[in-house]
Amino acid sequence: MNVPHISSSLSTKALEFIGSVLQLQPELAVFDCDGTLWGGDAGEGFFDWELKRGLVSGETVTWARGRYASYLAGKVSEDDMCAEMATLHDGLSEDKVLRAAHDYFNERMASQIFPELQVLVHKLQETGCDVWAVSSTNEWVIREAMKHFGIPQEKILAASVRVMEGKITNQLIRVPSGEGKPRAILEVIGRAPNVALGNSVWDAAMLKIADHPFAVNPTSQLQEIAEQNKWPIYHPEPLTRA
């Protein structure tokens, strides 16, 4: 993607936001993904997309629909639902799920990427900043998404399970959501970030450990937390791409 071309079309507000992060000269920056780097929730979107396309068995589809209904009713926790959106692929070829993630993200989500966030990630990388993606969405979708940002697989902390001989298992590795985000950052990266950007209450714990937290495209809950803590708040420009 021609990032310089996108950069030249950004508004003054967007450029000022990018500059406000770059001037901090961070050595380590972490980004939430859904709602922060793009509009919408790719995790829930892929879940619905794959169930409709029969990526998993009919039995699994029935079970998953029931669990999601229970989640919406408040009977299944956020962490458990995010974990199960990864473990439901137990027994599938990882290549098959990666191909599905590629098709889904490019069909449904790529046009929802916030251009100024894409530019910011690239600009930070150009300065030598260590940039990581942290998400409770399954790692296959996030791996595909990060191709648009130049973030390599080894710098992704997402909902993940063990893969053995090319087959996905139900052995959970991590679910970076809520308190799980700073825990994953500290366990894997080994230090708190200089800069962190997130959009929801599930990012608040991650933002709190950063030297410089930013609330981007915040939900009402995170907006309130950000205002209380005097964190910078940024609302991305409306998306105009089809």
Mean pLDDT of 55-77: 96
CA distance 190 to 183: 10
pLDDT of 2: 44
Which superfamily is assigned to 3-234 in CATH? HAD superfamily/HAD-like (3.40.50.1000)
Q: Is residue 84's pLDDT more than 80?
A: yes
CA angle 53, 103, 113 (to 5 degrees): 120
What's the pLDDT at 240?
A: 63
**Mean pLDDT within 30-52:** 97
Work out the pLDDT band at 141, boundaries 50, 70, 90: very high
Average pLDDT over residues 132-161: 98
Residue-level pLDDT at 34: 97
Q: What is the average pLDDT score of the chain?
A: 95
> What is d(CA 213, CA 193) in angstroms, rounded to the nearest whole number?
9
pLDDT at 123: 98
The per-residue pLDDT for range 94-114, each reduced to its tens digit, is: 999 999 999 999 999 999 999
pLDDT at residue 106, rounded to an integer: 96
What is the mean predicted confidence (pLDDT) over 167-194?
A: 97
pLDDT band at 5 (very low <50, low <70, confident <90, very high): low
Whole-number pLDDT of residue 6? 55
Q: Which residues pair with 29 in a beta bridge?
A: 131, 195
Asked if residue 134 lies in contact with residue 30, where contact means CB atoms within 8 angstroms, the answer is yes
According to the model, what pLDDT value does residue 238 have? 86
- Taking residues 220-228, report their average pLDDT: 98
Mean local confidence (pLDDT), 108-123: 97
Reduced to 3 states, what is the DSSP secondary structure of residue 91? coil
* Number of Cβ atoms within 10 Å of the Cβ of 54: 10
Mean pLDDT of 11-17: 96
Domain extent listing, the chain:
3-234
Q: What is the pLDDT of residue 9?
A: 85
Give the pLDDT band of residue 239 (cuts 50, 70, 90): confident
Instruction: Give the pLDDT mean for 183-204.
Output: 98
Confidence of residue 3 (pLDDT cuts 50, 70, 90): low
What integer pLDDT is reported at residue 1 of this predicted model? 44
- What local confidence, expressed as pLDDT, does residue 242 receive? 42
Q: Length of the chain in residues, anyone?
A: 242
Which of 115-137 are b and which e, b meaning 16 or more Cβ less than 10 Å from the residue's Cβ? bbbbbbbbbbeeeebbbbbbbbb
Q: Above pLDDT 70, what percent of the chain? A: 95
> What is the CB neighbour count within 10 angstroms for residue 4?
8
